[in-house]
Structure 1
Amino acid sequence: MNSNDLSFMKNLKYDIPSSIVVFLVAMPLCLGIALASGAPLFSGIIGGIVGGIVVGLLSGSPLGVSGPAAGLAVIVLNAIADLGGYEFFLVAVVLSGIIQVIMGYLKAGGIAYYFPSSVIHGMLSGIGLVIIMKQIPNVFGYVAPEGGFSFLESFSGALKVFSYISPGVLIVTILSLFILLLWQTKFIQKIKPIAIIPGPLVAVIVGIILNGVFAGIPALTIAGKHMVSLPIADSLDSFMNNFSLPNFSILTNPHVYTTAIIIAVVGSMETLLSVEAIDKLDKLKRITPTNRELKAQGIGNILSGLIGGLPVTQVIVRSSVNNQSGGKTKTAAVLHGILLLVSVVLIPKLLNLIPLATLAAILLTVGYKLAKPALFKKMFKQGPEQFIPFIVTIIGILITDLLMGIAMGMLVSIFTILRNNYKVPFRQKTNDIIKESNIKIELSEDVTFLNKASIQKSLMEIPENTDVEICAMNSCFVHPDIVEMIQDFEVNAKEKNIKVSLIDLHLHCPLEKDKQKKKKNKKEELVAV
């Protein structure tokens, strides 16, 4: 099923609540990323608005949410200093957007298919753990150093946290977590009038009420540094002053072009990895057109740079929140951008009454869902070829950064492929897949995750009302990513009236192999008895 088939009105009941939750998460993240980037705070909000409304409308991603990305914060911070000011940096943002549009037309979006699922799942889990770590100060009411604690500092940082607990903040955190967990229970979900209200919204309302109550109790008063802090404009002129214009006089400086290329490349990589990850989380198994996504991100960055916003990418955290909150179409992303715009115009004072502890509780639940123990167990069962890159990616993200962690996971995955190729005595020197007709596909002797792009393209080109046979009879090795892709295709094929027959593909499914091995062991035990 593609996004065009989904009814707008039918899915509003899912998209509106999800957009509210995404808005509540995105708003403090936009401000925090702007702070970490050394940019004006309002520039983060501008990036969030552009990412939500403009990129959301142009993108083909049903669940993706775009906005300022933490992965670019250090690059932005250094670039502003190197270029001599924020107005000069905005020129690099505009140029990076132009580069991304060109990349889209050059069909560079296919690079996303060359990343194995073990690395993508590791990326999601690593980000989940980073989210949890970064929220620990807000949970207890401790003011962390700018940028929060690194992984190596987190243990000593935890000791400082426990030495400076704010009772009021901790109470808000505990009650917010209780509400969020309660709202996920079957008991609440059965009560339809209550279930319609998103749990995070209830937590935010309770947090605002508690903040007002605690204001009259000195021991529980929540300090302003533990509250949301949005710029408040008292007139149209002061609101417009929050926007900045790029200074194009720096176009004669070669360094601005280097900065633009770095932003375009890093931003595109984060976007494409997010697309691949979120598509895997999509229960409807929809596939985002990656070249269109690059064009949408490029146009978004051009506009964001022209009006004073931070560079935008599709962001895994917000996209994951959208998925976890029940969003169905890109309407949720667009509505979240509209909510950001409306909120900073009409209700900044009300938003500034929200304790950061409430938002931290929301992010803790998001982080747990991304890195829940069940995923670690699943990856372990799939064997060392999946589990080791998964763990290496997580560790790399925790001790370094997102891109370095992904690079470490990729290196381990490539080493695994080389080892598998060495173990296979004969390799087929033909195309990745051999199509004897447009209704029969024979997988080659050794199919790795590097074959994802070509196989995906072939599957997407299969016409409607077709009988398709996908044969793995002659395959010695089929990577779990390829198995998963074909299984997703089998699910989607029903919408196009395509009948799919899979031959021997189950023999290459790690979980199925484990079941067959257990059955074999049981039979051997019975024979022995």
Structure 2
Amino acid sequence: MNKSFPVLFTSLKQDLFAGTVVFLVALPLCLGIAQASGMPPLAGLLSGIIGGVLITLLSPSPLSVSGPAAGMIALVVSSIASLGSISAMLVALVLAGALQVAAGLLRLGRLAGLIPGTVIRGLLAGIGILLIMQQLPVAFGYMPDSEPTNDASMHFFKDITMGSVLIMLVSLLLLIVMETPWVKKSKLSALPAPLLVVLWGMLAQGLLSSAEGWALPDSQRVQLPAWSWDNAWPLALPDWSVLMQPSLYQVAFSIALLASLETLLSLEATSRIDPLKRAPRSDRELVAQGAGNMVSGLLGGLPLTAVIVRSSANVYAGARTRFSSLFHGVLMLISALFLAPLLNHIPLASLSAILIFTGFKLASPALFIREWRQGFTQFIPFVITVTGIISVGMLEGIGLGLLCQLLLSVVKAERNTLTLTQHGAIHLLRIHQNITFISKPELCRLLDSLPDSSTVHIEVVDGITLAPDLQEAIDAFMAQAEQRNLTVFYMPKK
């Protein structure tokens, strides 16, 4: 017992430090994601609290950190626009959480492994581009409407505020500098870049408040309500009257699918950097995430996922157990209760800069170059996924990418399955492996290319079963053999 106490104390000390670091990273992200999603900033804090406390207590992952994710922003915005209100989206979120719980109980987490890496990378890149498109107007001072829409980019030059532009540009510069190798190797790397950006934004808006033409209006700063137990619940609540709306269930499925994908990807990435190499338990994690999303929807919060940015910050800060994530959730709760007056000095331009930089990292030019170098069978599904997500929608883009990857994989598998060799007047057509209807045109071409008055051997490798379409093509060829003076030797496999 005496020997274990120092180990326990060391672990607790590391977890407290890591939890503080994660809180400093998560706080501006929660506020920024809520603002970008068209939700009140308090909804972002509430979601961070639920992710840090409830999901942490239910999750089997020792180092994963959950909360609102930048990858869900575009889907939340489009969901609110299509369903007509935040309250309707919250109903979809509750249903999405129930779907995640059901998927975890049915042990469907492993099915995420069937989604090709090209489609997943295309998904993340598409999300990154949408994030940049949506946040640039806000970073320039565009004041968003009360109801979010997808056409914010159309107002790029509306309501430009020079103070917002200055704060955004310096914020981006800070984020870029913090990513340089020199800073990463120095002691400055211990400072969370989002925290530096927020501190700069608060300082700048204070200095610019007295400068004519540069001051930020209240609408371009975080607006958290003063907390009081006597007031009514300050966030929107689910509107259950939309349960008869058919589009609700498509939105719920989209949220469940995307949130589950982000969670499972984050779990996999976190397990790779875990010093103890603890294996992820995807099914139990889906149950925990689903429960968190149901509670978040019931209380007016945002969709929750395991988030790789916060999880990696947790690992690199030295966390050992889930207490670090729990402590970060407690700090989020304290900030929501007592720090609203301070947080209301944060400019939206600072939060937008963080999200723009996150979007750039998700859709970096290096990613497109890397996919291009892997060949067309990888690049085409990647581009189709990105294009589909931007132009049509999240679920549709994933579906188009999957379909494209499936077709290209089948076509690639069908290559070199048929060979035709010649020895004098004798021709050998060999079928090497199981082939589908896709190979029928090639089979017909080879059969038609055989010269009249020749001998043809059609050989099917043992264990191969021909598809009916291919068998019909061979039967039609043999029916014409006598007219073409062909001698055909073919013994179909039984």
TM-score, normalisation: structure 1:
0.65
Partner of 2:413 in structure 1? 421
Aligned residue pairs: how many? Answer: 399
Matched, 1:383 2:375: yes
For residues 312-351 of structure 1, the aligned pairs below 5 Å read 312-314=303-305, 318-320=307-309, 322-323=311-312, 326=316, 333-351=325-343
1:314 partner SS:
strand
Contact 1:45–1:309 under 8 Å retained in 2: no
Compared CA separation, residues 185 and 421, structure 1 to 2 (3 A): closer
Letter in 1 for 2:33: L
Q: Report the alpha carbon displacement of residue 208 of structure 1 after superposing the two structures with TM.
A: 0.8
Q: What is residue 116 of structure 2 aligned with on the other side?
A: 116
What's the counterpart of residue 457 of structure 2? none
Report 1:6-405 matches (<5 A).
9-10=13-14, 13-33=17-37, 35=39, 42-61=42-61, 62-63=63-64, 65-67=66-68, 69-70=72-73, 71-75=75-79, 86=87, 94=94, 96-144=96-144, 147=148, 150=151, 154=153, 157-158=155-156, 160=157, 164-192=159-187, 194-233=188-227, 235-238=228-231, 241-242=233-234, 255=244, 262=250, 264-279=252-267, 281-282=269-270, 283-284=272-273, 288-306=280-298, 308-310=299-301, 312-314=303-305, 318-320=307-309, 322-323=311-312, 326=316, 333-405=325-397
| Counterpart contact for 1:122–1:390, Cα < 8 Å | yes
> Is the Cα–Cα contact under 8 Å of residues 203 and 358 in structure 1 kept in the other structure?
yes
Q: Any gaps of 5 or more consecutive residues in structure 1?
A: 1-5, 427-444, 447-529
Question: Which residue of the partner structure matches residue 515 of structure 1?
Answer: none
- Cα gap change, 1:387 to 1:277, in 2 (>3 Å): farther
Q: Give the Å deviation of 1:12.
A: 5.3
Structure 2, unmatched stretches of 5+, are: 1-9, 419-432, 435-494
1:211 counterpart letter in structure 2: Q
Secondary structure of 1:141's partner? coil
SS of the aligned residue for 2:225 comes to coil
State the 1:304 CA deviation: 3.1
Task: State the alpha-carbon separation in 1 of the partners of residues 370 and 177 from structure 2.
Answer: 26
Match of 1:500 in 2: none
Instruction: Indicate conservation of the 8 Å contact 1:30/1:47, yes or no.
Output: no
Task: Name the CA shift for 1:263/1:64 in 2 (closer, same or farther; >3 Å).
Answer: farther
- 1:335 Cα shift? 4.4
Q: Is the 8 A contact 2:32 2:352 kept in 1?
A: no
Higher alpha-carbon deviation: 274-283 or 22-31: 274-283
Amino acid at match of 1:409: G
**1:504: which partner in 2?**
none
Once the two structures are TM-superposed, the CA of residue 328 in structure 1 deviates from its matched residue by 6.8
Take 1:406 and 1:247, find their aligned partners in 2: how far apart are those partners?
29
Structure 1 residues 219, 343: closer, same or farther in 2, change over 3 A? same
1:475-514 C-alpha deviation (Å, 9 max, x unpaired): xxxxxxxxxxxxxxxxxxxxxxxxxxxxxxxxxxxxxxxx
Shift of the 337–424 alpha-carbon distance from structure 1 to 2, 3 Å rule, reads farther
In structure 2, give the amino acid aligned to 1:219: G
- Give the aligned residue type for 1:33: S
Kindly name which structure, 1 or 2, has the bigger radius of gyration based on alpha carbons: 2
For residue 304 of structure 1, give the secondary structure of its aligned residue in structure 2: helix
Q: Please report how far the alpha carbon of residue 73 of structure 1 lies from its aligned counterpart in structure 2 after TM superposition.
A: 4.5
Report Cα offsets for 1:420-448 as digits up to 9, x if no partner. Answer: 2322529xxxxxxxxxxxxxxxxxx99xx
In 2: Cα distance, 1:331 partner to 1:401 partner: 38
Change (3 A) 1:92 1:269: closer
**Contact conserved, 1:119 with 1:409, CA < 8 A, in 2?**
yes
Return the alpha-carbon distance in structure 2 between the equivalents of residues 122 and 101 of structure 1.
26
Shift of 1:24: 0.8
Q: Structure 2 CA distance, aligned partners of 1:364 and 1:89?
A: 24
CA spacing shift, 1:201–1:246, aligned 2, 3 Å: closer
Q: Does the CA contact (< 8 Å) of 1:51 and 1:337 recur in 2?
A: yes
Q: 1:357 to 1:322 in 2, by over 3 A?
A: farther
Distance 1:314 1:223, change over 3 A: same
Aligned-residue offset at 1:347? 1.0
In 1, are the aligned partners of 2:81 and 2:148 still within 8 Å (CA)?
A: no
In the alignment, is the contact (CA less than 8 A) between 1:129 and 1:371 conserved in 2? yes
SS in 1 for 2:230: helix
Given that 1:214 and 1:220 are in contact with CA atoms closer than 8 Å, whether structure 2 keeps it comes out as yes
Q: Is contact 1:204–1:358 with CA below 8 Å preserved after alignment?
A: yes
Task: Give the aligned residue type for 1:200.
Answer: P
> Taking every aligned residue pair, what percent have the same amino acid on both sides?
29
* CA separation of 1:284 and 1:219: change in aligned 2, threshold 3 A: same
Corresponding residue SS for 1:236 = coil
- Aligned to 2:68, the other structure's residue is in SS state strand
CA-CA distance at 1:90 after TM superposition: 6.2
Distance 1:367 1:208 in 2: 23
Alpha-carbon shift at residue 149 of structure 1 (Å): 5.1
- Structure 2 Cα separation of the partners of residues 415 and 166 of structure 1: 49
- In 2, distance between residues paired with 1:260 and 1:142? 30
Question: Alignment partner for residue 411 of structure 1, among 399, 403, 406?
Answer: 403
1:119 deviates by 0.6
Equivalent-residue separation in structure 2 for 1:241 and 1:134 (angstroms):
29
Equivalents in 1 of 2:176, 2:19: separation in Å? 21
Distance 1:327 1:363, change over 3 A: farther
Displacement of 1:227: 0.8
- Secondary structure of residue in 2 paired with 1:66: strand
Give 1:303's aligned amino acid.
V
CA distance in 1, matches of 2:412, 2:121: 21
**Cα distance, 1:67 vs. partner?**
3.3
1:348-407 Cα shifts (integer Å, max 9, x gaps):
111110011111121222122212222222211211111111111111122122222111
CA deviation profile, 1:266-292 (whole Å, cap 9, x unmatched): 332112211343356445286532211
Question: Could you tell me how far 1:331 is from its partner in structure 2?
Answer: 5.5
> How far apart, in 2, do the equivalents of 1:323 and 1:144 lie?
32
Which letter does structure 2 place at the counterpart of 1:309? G
Q: Which residue of 2 aligns with 1:512?
A: none
Q: Distance in 2 between matches of 1:245 and 1:135?
A: 26
Letter in 1 for 2:254: V
Q: Which residue of 1 aligns with 2:474?
A: none
Moved more, 336-345 or 290-299: 336-345
Structure 1 residue 206, shift from structure 2 partner: 1.8
Rate the CA distance shift 1:314–1:126 in 2: closer, same or farther, 3 A.
same
Contact 1:131–1:364 (8 Å) recurs in 2: yes
